[in-house]
C-alpha cells in the first residue's frame, strides 16, 4: 500500500485519459437494462447508442488483447468489454492491466450484447476516477465475516449485495411510513433530542452538559412527553421519526442508539390504534415486498389474516405448567413461586403486576412468532397509560409481537394530572431506591403543568423502525440493519 501511495503522489497525469475530471456519467447500469435489454443484438449494432457509465471495478477477466470487467454503481452492475483494438495498446497493456479491483472507473462506449446475450459496454475511452489504495478481494460473492461487516461497513456494502438491498429497503420503509402517515392526515413534528429531564420510558439515559446554560442534559430515551404537549397545544394528529438513546445493554435486538416512529391521535383509544397498526402492517408488507407473508428465520409470518389478540395473563398461562391457574397469577406468594421456577429474577419490593410482567418477558415473548397483540398490562408497569374501566389494575395498553420480540407499544394516554402525579411520584420512589438516584430526576413537573391545561382523550403508539426492518429483510441481528451499530472497542 505504501508503494502504491508513493506512485500516486508522483503521478501528475490521469491514469488512462487526460482531463478525467471532466468525465460526466449519463447513465446508470439500471438505465442501460431498462433501455436496451429487450433489444436484439442486431438492432443494437445499428444504433448509435454511446453511453458514459462509471462505478467500482469489482471483477476483471483478462484474455490477451481483450478483457472483460464489471462495474458496480448505485443501481447495480454492468459488464464492460475492453480491447486493444478500441483503445491505445499502450494504455491497455501498461495501464489498464495494472488496474486494481476497487478502482473507480469511468467508461465511454457503445452498448452491445455478447454471444451469450449479456448486455455490455464496448469501451472506447476509459478513465481512472479514483484509485483504491486497498485492493478489494476477488472473492466478490459476499463478505461472510460478521465482525468485518459491522466494523467496516463500506467494504461490506461494496462486496455484499444483500447488505446493500437491506439498506435500500430500510430507506423505502421509512419513506413509506412518512407517506402513509401524511395520507392519514398526520403532521410530522420534531421534538428535542437533548432534554433537561428524561421520561416517556423506563431506561438509563446518556448524560451530557451544556456549558453555556451550566446545566445537565440527557439524550432522550423517548419523545412521548413532548409529543403529548403538542397534542395539548391543539395538534391532534402528529408523528415523529427519530433517534432515541438508552444507555443499557447491547444485544441482537438492542442498540444504544435506535430509530422509532411515535404517533398520537386525539379522540381515539388504544383499540382504535390496534386496528390502525394492523392495517399499517398489512399495507407496508404488501407495498414494500409485494407479498402478504414473509419468511423470517425458520418461520413464515402471515400478514394476510387478522392478528391474534391475547391478554398478558392469558399468554402466561398458555406457556407455563397447567398446574397454575389465573388465581395463582393474582396471589403474590404463588406468582413468586412461578417466577422462581422459571428462573425469573425478582425483588422483594416488586408488586404482583411487576412480577407478572417479568415472567411474561422471560417465558412468553420469544414464543410470540405470528403477529400477536398482547393486551391488559399491569398498571404498575404502565405509568403513562390510562386505567382500564373494567379492571383498574390493568392498563388500556397493547404491545405487538412479531417474530419473538416487541415491534410496537401503544396505549390510551393517561390525561388525569392528579393520577399522573401520583404515578410519577411512585415511580420516582421505586427508581430512587433501586438505582440510588435522586427521586426528583423522574418527576417532570413541567409535563404535569401541561396536563393541567387538558389533554384530550388520546392514544399513542411507538414502532421500532430497526426491528421492523429486521422483519422485512429477514435479518436476525439489529446490527445488520443499522449502518454503523455500537460495537466494543477492538
Closest CA to 298 of 365, 369, 371: 369
Residue 302 pLDDT > 50: yes
pTM across the whole model: 0.91
Q: Residue with C-alpha cell 452538559?
A: 209
Residue 17 pLDDT > 70: no
How would residue 201 be classed by pLDDT, with cut points 50, 70 and 90?
Answer: confident
Q: How far apart are CA 156 and CA 58, in angstroms?
A: 13
Question: Do residues 424 and 443 touch, judged by C-beta distance below 8 A?
Answer: yes
Residue 435 pLDDT > 60: no
What phi and psi values does residue 382 have, to the nearest 5 degrees? -135, 65
Q: Which grid cell sits at 113?
A: 450484447
How would residue 436 be classed by pLDDT, with cut points 50, 70 and 90?
Answer: very low
How would residue 249 be classed by pLDDT, with cut points 50, 70 and 90?
Answer: confident
Average pLDDT over residues 29-36: 96
Q: How far apart are CA 346 and CA 487, in angstroms?
A: 30
Residue 308 pLDDT > 80: yes
pLDDT of 133: 87
Instruction: Read off the DSSP letter of residue 361.
Output: I
Q: Which grid cell sits at 109?
A: 462506449
In angstroms, what CA-CA distances link 199 with 130, 342, 407, 447? 48, 31, 20, 10
Residue 429 pLDDT > 80: no
pLDDT of 468: 98
What digits encode the pLDDT tens for the residues 34-86?
Answer: 999 999 999 998 888 999 999 999 999 999 899 999 999 999 999 999 999 89
pLDDT of 5: 60
Average pLDDT over residues 144-162: 87
Instruction: Read off the DSSP letter of residue 413.
Output: B
Closest CA to 482 of 241, 469, 207, 26: 469
Residue 431 pLDDT > 60: yes
Question: Do residues 107 and 53 touch, judged by C-beta distance below 8 A?
Answer: yes
How would residue 136 be classed by pLDDT, with cut points 50, 70 and 90?
Answer: confident
Mean pLDDT score of the chain, rounded to an integer?
Answer: 91
In 69-98, which positions are buried (b, 16+ CB within 10 angstroms) versus exposed (e)? bbbbbebbbbbbbbbbebbeeebbeebbee
Task: For the domain made up of 1-138, give the CATH fold.
Answer: OB fold (Dihydrolipoamide Acetyltransferase, E2P) (2.40.50)
pLDDT of 440: 54
Higher pLDDT, 454 or 129: 454
pLDDT of 146: 82
Question: Do residues 114 and 61 touch, judged by C-beta distance below 8 A?
Answer: no
Annotated binding-site ranges: 399, 406
Task: Please tell us whether the domain made up of 159-307+370-415+454-480 is placed in CATH 3.20.20.150.
Answer: no
Q: How far apart are CA 277 and CA 283, in angstroms?
A: 10
Residue 11 pLDDT > 50: no
Average pLDDT over residues 393-409: 97
**Comma-separated ranges of CATH 2.40.50.140 domains in the chain:** 1-138
Residue 394 pLDDT > 90: yes
Biggest CA-to-CA distance, the chain: 88
Q: Which grid cell sits at 94?
A: 501498461
pLDDT of 381: 94
Annotated binding-site ranges for Mg(2+): 399, 406
Paired residues of 299 in beta bridges:
296
Residue 384 pLDDT > 90: yes
| β pairing state of 215-219 and 194-195 | antiparallel
Q: How far apart are CA 72 and CA 390, in angstroms?
A: 61
Work out the end-to-end distance of the chain between its first and last CA atoms, rounded to an integer number of angstroms: 23
Q: How many CB atoms lie within 10 A of CB 145?
A: 10
Q: How far apart are CA 211 and CA 207, in angstroms?
A: 13
Amino acid at each position: 500500500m505504501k508503494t502504491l501511495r508513493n506512485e500516486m503522489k508522483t503521478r501528475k497525469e490521469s491514469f488512462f485519459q487526460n482531463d478525467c475530471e471532466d468525465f460526466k456519467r449519463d447513465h446508470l447500469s439500471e438505465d442501460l437494462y431498462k433501455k436496451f435489454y429487450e433489444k436484439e443484438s442486431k438492432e443494437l449494432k445499428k444504433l448509435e447508442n454511446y453511453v458514459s457509465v462509471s462505478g467500482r471495478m469489482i471483477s476483471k477477466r483478462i484474455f490477451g488483447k481483450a478483457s472483460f470487467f464489471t462495474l458496480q454503481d448505485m443501481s447495480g452492475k454492468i459488464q464492460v468489454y475492453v480491447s486493444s483494438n478500441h483503445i491505445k495498446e499502450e494504455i491497455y497493456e501498461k495501464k489498464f492491466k495494472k488496474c486494481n479491483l476497487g478502482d473507480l472507473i469511468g467508461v465511454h462506449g457503445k452498448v452491445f450484447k455478447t454471444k451469450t446475450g449479456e448486455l455490455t459496454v464496448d469501451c472506447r475511452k476509459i478513465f481512472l476516477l479514483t484509485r483504491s489504495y486497498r485492493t478489494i478481494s476477488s472473492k466478490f460473492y459476499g463478505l461472510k465475516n460478521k465482525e468485518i461487516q459491522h466494523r467496516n461497513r463500506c467494504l461490506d456494502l461494496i462486496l455484499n449485495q444483500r447488505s446493500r438491498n437491506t439498506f435500500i429497503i430500510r430507506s423505502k420503509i421509512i419513506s413509506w411510513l412518512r407517506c402513509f402517515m401524511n395520507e392519514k392526515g398526520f403532521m410530522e413534528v420534531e421534538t428535542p433530542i437533548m432534554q433537561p429531564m428524561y421520561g416517556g420510558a423506563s431506561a438509563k439515559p446518556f448524560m451530557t452538559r451544556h456549558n453555556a446554560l451550566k446545566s445537565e442534559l440527557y439524550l432522550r430515551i423517548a419523545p412521548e412527553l413532548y409529543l403529548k404537549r403538542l397534542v395539548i397545544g391543539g395538534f391532534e394528529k402528529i408523528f415523529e421519526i427519530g433517534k432515541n438513546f438508552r444507555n443499557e445493554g447491547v444485544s441482537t435486538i438492542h442498540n444504544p442508539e435506535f430509530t422509532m416512529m411515535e404517533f398520537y391521535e386525539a379522540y381515539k383509544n388504544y383499540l382504535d390504534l390496534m386496528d390502525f397498526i394492523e392495517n399499517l402492517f398489512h399495507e407496508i408488507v404488501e407495498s414494500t415486498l409485494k407479498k402478504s407473508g414473509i419468511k423470517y428465520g425458520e418461520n413464515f409470518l402471515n400478514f394476510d389474516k387478522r392478528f391474534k389478540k391475547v391478554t398478558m395473563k392469558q399468554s402466561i398461562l398458555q406457556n407455563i405448567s397447567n398446574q397454575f391457574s389465573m388465581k395463582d397469577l393474582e396471589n403474590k406468594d404463588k406468582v413468586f413461586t412461578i417466577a422462581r421456577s422459571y428462573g425469573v429474577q425478582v425483588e422483594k419490593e416488586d408488586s404482583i403486576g411487576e412480577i407478572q410482567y417479568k415472567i411474561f418477558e422471560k417465558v412468553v415473548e420469544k414464543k410470540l412468532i405470528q403477529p400477536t397483540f398482547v393486551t391488559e398490562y399491569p398498571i404498575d408497569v404502565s405509568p403513562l397509560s390510562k386505567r382500564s374501566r373494567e379492571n383498574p389494575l390493568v392498563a388500556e395498553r397493547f404491545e405487538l409481537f412479531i417474530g419473538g420480540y416487541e415491534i410496537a407499544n401503544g396505549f390510551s394516554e393517561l390525561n388525569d394530572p392528579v393520577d399522573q402525579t401520583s404515578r410519577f411520584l411512585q415511580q420516582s420512589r421505586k427508581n430512587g431506591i433501586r438505582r440510588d438516584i435522586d427521586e426528583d430526576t423522574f418527576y417532570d413537573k413541567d409535563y404535569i403543568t401541561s396536563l393541567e391545561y387538558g389533554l384530550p382523550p388520546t392514544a399513542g403508539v411507538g414502532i421500532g423502525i430497526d426491528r421492523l426492518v429486521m422483519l422485512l429483510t429477514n435479518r436476525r441481528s439489529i446490527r445488520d440493519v443499522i449502518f454503523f451499530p455500537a460495537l466494543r472497542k477492538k
